[in-house]
Structure 1
Amino acid sequence: MIMLEAQETKEASYNRIERVIEQMKELRGGTVQESCPIGIISMENWEWPQGVGLFSLYLYYKETGKREILEYLIEWYDRRIQEGLPEKNINTMCPMLTLTYVYEETGRADYLALCKEWVEYAMNELPRTEENGFQHVGTGHLNEGQLWDDTLYMTVLFVCRMGQIDKRDDYIQESIRQFLVHLKYLTDPVTGLFFHGWTFVDKHHYSRALWGRGNAWYTAGLVDYLEMAELPQGVQWFLLSSLERQIQKLQDVQAKSGMWHTLLDDPASYEETSATAGFAYGILKAIRKNMLPAAYKPVAVKAYKAVLRQIDEQGVVHGVSYGTGLGRSLQVYRDIPITPMAYGQSMVLLMLVESLKHDELSGEG
């Protein structure tokens, strides 16, 4: 792994970002055999990991104005559309979020038409749980009656974006309902952390896993969600109080290394990089946007430095767990293999791009 310099230059920060991006684009296989119906390692597929990668690339484009990044995004979408898109579900919805932004950059009517088609599916055809939650339908898995904490990032952010673009308040209101329903059933009232899933069929939280990356989807996604649309003040208060309570507990369970474990409350489970990067990104951005007190910044900085140690000289991010379904035992989470993944690269990229806005992290402190 790389050695951290006492004081890093801005140029070194950008060079690291470029290496991470290049490795994300080039991933074709890892150290594990793919088990998902649609491959989740290579960027040449259309699934949720690629969706996260595209969004991180878009944010880097907005930060730098590099046209080659936008051109890559346009070419990526055009290739996938020509190949034919997969079935619509919660996870395959994820790439649509970035397509809304690429539509705004290009003004292309075919992109907008596709976004409208997919949001109509989410609003009118996607199976619902009790209380109208979005059922976590994945590729090849109906998951009847199940709420997962992944859903907010994978689908609800896109629904909110389309409410903004199409001036559809019903979409915005639906996104609010989804956040509230998911927090109602997935929040652990003891810790303020989030369970991976809930079943309305059997009325339980499965193994009651406080899964790291699942929690990071809320931390990383919430600040972006609050940027997308103006929400009622009371809703903002509620969502931000849930975030702060989560961060308060994350302080307690952060490892000495600065990382978090794949099971947040289980020090015997391995430390996991994608979750740590997601937490660092969300906390840093929330502080910059005055959503969290600056007192939490040392937690994020410690995590940021820990993640940097997981990036090798070529830009490969290590210590990332493979795709993780809803486990019926905690051992399932402990046994998820570790391998470089597109979302590992991209969650680290989110963190690195955000760090450019913090002088003490980007070589200007």
Structure 2
Amino acid sequence: MLDRTTIENALSRLVAGFESLRLDGKFDEPNLDGTPGDYVSFDAWEWPQGVGLYGLVQLWLARGRDAALTQTLTGWYDRALARGLPPMNVNTTAPMLALSILWRETREDRFEKVLNDWARKVMEEAPRTPFGGIQHDVSDRLNKGELWDDTLFMVALFLASYGQAAGRRELVEEAVRQFLVHANFLADRETGLWFHGWTFEGRHNFARARWGRGNAWITACLLDLFDLADIAPDAAEFLRDLLRDQVAALIPQQMEDGAWRTLLDDPTSYPETSATAGFAYGLLKGARLGLLGDDARQAGRKALDYVMGQIGPDGVVGGVSYGTRMGHDLQFYRDIPIQPTGYGQSLAMLALVEALKEAE
């Protein structure tokens, strides 16, 4: 297992790498309102940055709320609020998760109104599918009748976190409802893995892709939900059983070098670092909490070694697949390009923060 000094050094490089990310013109994805989409650089308000901020806030907690990261986090949000926030959708909700944790710890008045207003919008304005699922609408596309794995990480964790911190039980209960609805349509009964998406417009799972990063969102979500909020015992036990079922299917799909592929059960697809980091985080955390066994711990350690090997001298994580829309065939996933992103940095941070706890 890695020693604390090695882990801390790698975490510091990851923070520097995250802050160095810049949009280079390679990806031009305009939003529905005509504004330019930015899914790479540090300061945009979108889902990659939101996931990145979640990694930073977890590192902030692990380091005892140190001053440098406090300034990084509060400065990021103050700049964003001064610019004005974008319209609410699934992906623009992602930065609210880290903000809810920052507010929980600091109770800064300027953040409370923002969180409260955004939670109201999610509850009252977010389009719903049958069964009350939150439709996966994003900044550059409306996805009528669609449920995606990603929604649980981008929206449900925020509702749970802010609901718990603000004493609003209805938000926590809505988060649990989203987990249950998504599990009903996305968990693959044949394997225990999860499909990327489901559509009520035809009632199918698209390409039936058992997509790596989508499954990593689920592994992380199913553990972090219990950190962020108090969950009713019956629902909690069901969700833990879902986690164990997924992990039992995940471990045999791990490659010899510790990675998982972008399509977990497709040997023709490439190894993908962000999914591997998400699994490392979830497996190590689940083992530490006694929810998973030693086989999960060993797989998590092996995955962590792989992730460490993907962190460049500049702190930028390599081997990360770019943002992935819903694929209608498996070749779509095999063709997603590799691109450094905030979520790649963040998922590696989460894995290393969990490794810190194990090292202690």
Q: What TM-score, normalized to structure 1?
A: 0.94
1:49-107 CA distances to partner (integer Å, 9 max, x unpaired)?
Answer: 11111111111111112211011110100101111111100110010011112223332
Alpha-carbon distance between aligned partners in 2 of 1:112 and 1:355, rounded to the nearest angstrom: 32
Tell me the residue number matched to 2:43. Answer: 44
Unaligned residue ranges in structure 1 (runs of 5+): 1-6
Q: Over aligned residues, Cα RMSD in angstroms?
A: 1.4
Tell me the residue number matched to 1:347. Answer: 347
Which of 12, 18, 24 pairs up with 2:18?
24
Alpha-carbon distance between aligned partners in 2 of 1:8 and 1:92, rounded to the nearest angstrom: 35
Counterpart contact for 1:30–1:340, Cα < 8 Å: no
From the superposition, tell whether residues 18 and 165 of structure 1 become closer, same or farther in structure 2 (CA, over 3 Å): same
Alpha-carbon distance between aligned partners in 2 of 1:8 and 1:159, rounded to the nearest angstrom: 34
Tell me the residue number matched to 1:4. Answer: none
Alpha-carbon distance between aligned partners in 2 of 1:346 and 1:228, rounded to the nearest angstrom: 18
Counterpart contact for 2:317–2:344, Cα < 8 Å: yes
- SS state at 2:217 partner: helix
- SS state at 2:358 partner: coil
- SS state at 2:198 partner: strand
Alpha-carbon distance between aligned partners in 1 of 2:241 and 2:291, rounded to the nearest angstrom: 10
Alpha-carbon distance between aligned partners in 1 of 2:200 and 2:78, rounded to the nearest angstrom: 39
1:170-214 CA distances to partner (integer Å, 9 max, x unpaired)?
Answer: 212111111000000001101111010000111111111110000
**Paired residues for 1:113-132 under 5 Å:** 113-132=113-132
Alpha-carbon distance between aligned partners in 2 of 1:67 and 1:117, rounded to the nearest angstrom: 28
From the superposition, tell whether residues 94 and 341 of structure 1 become closer, same or farther in structure 2 (CA, over 3 Å): same
Q: What TM-score, normalized to structure 2?
A: 0.95
1:247-286 CA distances to partner (integer Å, 9 max, x unpaired)?
Answer: 1111111111110000011011000000000000011111
Alpha-carbon distance between aligned partners in 2 of 1:315 and 1:257, rounded to the nearest angstrom: 21
Identity %: 44
Alpha-carbon distance between aligned partners in 2 of 1:358 and 1:169, rounded to the nearest angstrom: 32
- SS state at 2:93 partner: coil
Alpha-carbon distance between aligned partners in 2 of 1:103 and 1:232, rounded to the nearest angstrom: 24
Alpha-carbon distance between aligned partners in 1 of 2:110 and 2:310, rounded to the nearest angstrom: 40
Alpha-carbon distance between aligned partners in 1 of 2:3 and 2:177, rounded to the nearest angstrom: 44
- 1:225 and 2:229 correspond: no
Alpha-carbon distance between aligned partners in 2 of 1:348 and 1:52, rounded to the nearest angstrom: 11
- 1:59 and 2:58 correspond: yes
The structural deviation recorded for 1:314 is 2.1
**Paired residues for 1:252-271 under 5 Å:** 252-271=252-271
Alpha-carbon distance between aligned partners in 2 of 1:274 and 1:36, rounded to the nearest angstrom: 24
- SS state at 1:121 partner: helix
Alpha-carbon distance between aligned partners in 2 of 1:224 and 1:34, rounded to the nearest angstrom: 33
Counterpart contact for 1:318–1:339, Cα < 8 Å: yes
Alpha-carbon distance between aligned partners in 1 of 2:20 and 2:183, rounded to the nearest angstrom: 36
The structural deviation recorded for 1:141 is 1.4
- For 1:58, the aligned partner's letter is V
| Count of aligned positions | 354
Counterpart contact for 1:32–1:337, Cα < 8 Å: no
Unaligned residue ranges in structure 2 (runs of 5+): 32-36
Alpha-carbon distance between aligned partners in 1 of 2:72 and 2:272, rounded to the nearest angstrom: 29
- SS state at 1:260 partner: coil
Alpha-carbon distance between aligned partners in 1 of 2:108 and 2:136, rounded to the nearest angstrom: 30
Tell me the residue number matched to 2:34. Answer: none
Alpha-carbon distance between aligned partners in 1 of 2:254 and 2:310, rounded to the nearest angstrom: 16
- SS state at 1:198 partner: strand
Alpha-carbon distance between aligned partners in 2 of 1:181 and 1:62, rounded to the nearest angstrom: 31
Counterpart contact for 2:29–2:140, Cα < 8 Å: no
Structure 1 window deviating more from structure 2 (57-66 vs 103-112): it is: 103-112
